[in-house]
Structure 1
Amino acid sequence: MVTLVLGIVIVVPRMATAVLEMATVVLKMAVMVLQMMTVVPKMVTVVPKMVTVVLGMVTVVPMMVTVVPAMVTVVPIMVTVPLQMVTVTLRMLTVVLQEATLLLKMMTVVAVT
């Protein structure tokens, strides 16, 4: 009988500590659930933003693919057009000089006659 009472005296506190440990585990689980409840709404706002960013990338990358070759074709044109302008200007100057020499020749012919 004494051993039974001693066993109960020893077991009951252990049972109480086990119950307290279980209660702390349950409380920790509740805290984790609350934290998850705060995280989920943030995820709800973040995920659409991520989707819009990805969609933006999907629209920007093809534009970049079309813009870069266009730049490759435009830049040489931008270089060649001023050069062509210079050559045209030089041709115009040569024509003006040729006309001036013709005028001088005509004036000398008129002066001689």
Structure 2
Amino acid sequence: MVANYRVQAELTAVESTPDGNALVLGTIDGCVSVLAIVDQTKKDMNQYLAQMPSRDEGWKKKVEKMKAQTRFKAVGSIAKLSTLFAENNKDVSNNNAENRKPGNEQSA
């Protein structure tokens, strides 16, 4: 027995992390739970637990900063794309205007 833990829905998957320090549980409703395996006989267990996001008082600020950086990069990418599309639109408009000039009629 690893733990006395009750999942909220039918369990569909159980996997161990590569380092063996946690179990990942998947349920039929799409929820994923990660359970730390605490072995008090291991010396580095306290350090492992201290590094977990839920134990870090500043983790919310770190996550918000990462989200802000991601949003900024996304806005930059959208700006580049919109500039590219604007230039392509301008070229298409110029070509259409050239084709509408008298003497440039194309036969169908």
Query: What's the TM-score once normalised by structure 1's chain length?
Result: 0.39
In proportion to residue count, which structure has more strand? 2
Choose between structure 1 and 2 for higher RCO, CA contacts under 8 A separated by at least 6 residues: 2
Look at both structures and tell me which one has the larger radius of gyration over its CA atoms.
Answer: 1
By percentage of residues, which structure has more helix? 1
